[in-house]
A and B are shown apart, each in its own frame.
Chain A
Amino acid sequence: MMNSRDKFIGHYTERIEDEQLLHGRATFVDDLHLENTLFAFVLRSSIAHGVIKRVNTSSAKELMGVHAIYTGADIATEFNQVVPTIPIRLAPIDDLKRFKQPIIAYDRVRYVGEPIAIVIADSLERAQDASEAIEVDIEPLAVVGNWRSSSQNISTLHPEFKSNIGTVYHAKKGSISPRNNAYHYRKETFKVHRHTAVTLETRGLVAHWDEQHTKMKVYGATKVPFFNRACLGETLNLPLESIEMIEVAVGGGFGVRGEFYPEDFLIPYCSKKLKQPIKWIEDRTENLLGTNHSREVECDIELCCDKSGKIISLQSTLHVDAGAYARTSVTTVPRNSAQFSSGPYDIPNIDVTSTVYLTNKCPIGSYRAPGRFECDFFRERMLDMVATDLGIDRIEFRRMNLVKFNQMPYPLARIDNPDRYEELDCGNYLTTLDRCLKEFNWDQKALLQGKKIDGKYHGIAVGCFIEGGGAGTKETAKIEVNDHGKINVYVGSANLGQGVVTVMTQIAAEELDVAMGDIEVFHGSTTYLEEGFGSYHSRATIMGGSAVLVVAKALKEKIKEVAAQHWQCSASDVTLLPGLVCSYQSQTLALNQLKKDQLSISGEFPCKINTYAYGSAAAHVSVDEDTGKVELLDYFTIEDIGRIINPLTAKGQAIGAVVQGLGGVFLENLVYDEQCQLTVGSLADYLMPTASDYPIIRAMELQEHPSQLNPLGAKGAGEGGIIPVAGLMANAVSNALSSKGIQVNELPLSPQAVWGLMNTL
Chain B
Amino acid sequence: MSQTIPIQFKLNREDMSVQVLANALLSDCIRHQCQQTGTHVGCEHGACGACTVIVDGDAVRSCLMLAHQADGCEVTTIEGLATDGALSNLQLMFKKHHALQCGFCTPGMLTTAHALLSHEPHASHERIMEVLSGNLCRCTGYINIVDAVYEAREYYK
Q: A: which residues have CB within 8 A of B?
A: 14-15, 17-19, 21-28, 30-31, 33, 125, 197-202, 249-254, 283-284, 496-499, 648-649, 651-652, 655-660, 682-684, 688-695, 697
With a CB–CB cut-off of 8 A, which chain B residues contact A18?
Answer: 94-95, 100, 103
Q: Is the interface of A mostly helix, strand, loop or mixed?
A: loop
Given contacts A31-B37, A33-B35, A691-B129, contact A22 B44 (CB under 8 A): no
Q: Which of B47, B129, B137 contacts A695 (CB 8 A)?
A: B129
Q: Which of B3-11, B66-74, B143-151 contacts A (4 or more CB under 8 A)?
A: B143-151
Closest to B91 in A: A22
Q: B: which residues have CB within 8 A of A?
A: 1, 31-32, 35-45, 47-48, 50, 77-79, 82, 87, 91, 94-96, 98, 100-107, 110, 126, 128-130, 132-146
* B42 close to A201 (CB less than 8 A): yes
Q: Which of A31, A198, A497 contacts B102 (CB 8 A)?
A: A497
With a CB–CB cut-off of 8 A, which chain B residues contact A202?
Answer: 42
* A19 close to B98 (CB less than 8 A): no
* B48 close to A683 (CB less than 8 A): yes
B41 to chain A, nearest CB (A): 7
Q: How far is the CA of A228 from the CA of B22 in the complex (A)?
A: 40
Q: How far is the CA of A497 from the CA of B136 in the complex (A)?
A: 15
With a CB–CB cut-off of 8 A, which chain A residues contact B91?
Answer: 22-23
* B40 close to A251 (CB less than 8 A): yes
A494 to chain B, nearest CB (A): 12
Q: How far is the CA of A343 from the CA of B50 in the complex (A)?
A: 38
Q: How far is the CA of A651 from the CA of B141 in the complex (A)?
A: 11
Given contacts A22-B110, A33-B35, contact A688 B104 (CB under 8 A): no
Give me 25 A-to-B residue pairs in the complex whose CB atoms sit less than 8 angstroms apart, sorted by A's number: A14-B95, A14-B96, A19-B95, A24-B39, A33-B32, A200-B40, A200-B50, A200-B105, A200-B136, A200-B138, A201-B102, A252-B139, A497-B104, A652-B101, A652-B140, A655-B141, A656-B138, A659-B141, A682-B43, A683-B47, A683-B136, A690-B133, A690-B134, A692-B126, A695-B146
Known: A691-B145, A692-B133. 11 other contacts (CB 8 A): A17-B103, A24-B77, A200-B102, A249-B102, A656-B140, A682-B43, A683-B42, A688-B136, A690-B132, A691-B133, A692-B132
What are the 4 A-B residue pairs with the smallest beta carbon separation, nearest first? A24-B38, A497-B102, A251-B104, A21-B103
A373 to chain B, nearest CB (A): 16
A197 to chain B, nearest CB (A): 8
With a CB–CB cut-off of 8 A, which chain B residues contact A250?
Answer: 102
Given contacts A23-B82, A497-B103, A695-B146, contact A200 B87 (CB under 8 A): no
B4 to chain A, nearest CB (A): 13
B95 to chain A, nearest CB (A): 5
Q: How far is the CA of A284 from the CA of B41 in the complex (A)?
A: 10
* B138 close to A688 (CB less than 8 A): yes
* A284 close to B42 (CB less than 8 A): yes
With a CB–CB cut-off of 8 A, which chain B residues contact A496?
Answer: 102
